[in-house]
């Protein structure tokens, strides 16, 4: 029985890999998640939409060189997380030039994801504020791990960091989040 299950799983995965994914299919299947990742990294709807649009444009331009044997989701997540980081850095530079130091440190409230809507509104806002205060080095792995449910190895591949480094970053981020949440309790 277990052999039949394993064989059918292997065959379905082999069939899925042999089927070429179109760009339209990839966008339709992953656009909400891509926007959600950008939104969690940036904390702003307009910036997240900008980062998602830029990421999809880059993906479209390089679609012909995309290796169809690799998961399209990971490829797109890497592109959107890199774009979100770039947009966030640009936004920080713009804020620092145009506003005082106090205004540059303020982070606008973010909209909840569908998963977060199920969580109590007050707790959800508390967690979002705590994640938004994390330094970028820790915020990106947290978003990819806990909101996009990627493994440490997948995050390491996406960010170009060793898995052990990602693991340490997640441990430190959890410690920072725990401390931040205990302060606001």
> Residue 174 maps to which CATH number?
1.10.10.10
* Cα Dmax for the chain: 67
Which residues span the domain enclosing 45? 21-109
Regarding whether 97 and 158 lie in a shared domain, the answer is no
Return the percentage of the chain with pLDDT > 90, whole number.
Answer: 47
Q: What global pTM score does this model have? A: 0.60
Name the packing angle between helices 72-98 and 152-159 (round to 10°).
60
Residue 65 lies in a domain: yes
pLDDT digits (tens, 9 = 90+) for 21-67: 899 999 999 999 999 999 999 988 999 999 999 999 999 999 999 99
Name the packing angle between helices 121-132 and 163-184 (round to 10°).
130
Final residue of a structural domain among 109, 142, 170:
109
Residue 7 lies in a domain: no
In the block, residue with structure tokens 């997948």 = 154
């Amino acid at each position: 029985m277990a052999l039949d299950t394993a064989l059918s799983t292997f065959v379905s995965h082999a069939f899925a890999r042999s089927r070429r994914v179109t760009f339209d299919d990839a966008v339709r299947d992953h656009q909400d998640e891509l926007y959600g990742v950008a939104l969690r990294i940036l904390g702003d709807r307009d910036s997240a939409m900008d980062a998602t649009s830029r990421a999809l444009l880059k993906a479209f331009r390089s679609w012909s060189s995309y290796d169809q044997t690799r998961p399209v989701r990971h490829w797109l997540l890497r592109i959107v997380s890199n774009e979100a980081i770039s947009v966030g850095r640009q936004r920080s530079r713009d804020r620092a030039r145009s506003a005082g130091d106090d205004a540059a440190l303020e982070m606008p409230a973010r909209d909840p994801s569908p998963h977060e809507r199920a969580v109590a509104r007050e707790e959800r806002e508390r967690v979002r504020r705590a994640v938004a205060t994390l330094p970028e080095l820790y915020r990106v792995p947290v978003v990819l791990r806990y909101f996009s449910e990627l493994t440490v190895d997948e995050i390491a591949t996406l960010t170009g960091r060793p898995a052990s480094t990602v693991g340490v970053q997640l441990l430190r981020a959890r410690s920072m989040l725990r401390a931040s949440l205990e302060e606001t309790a």
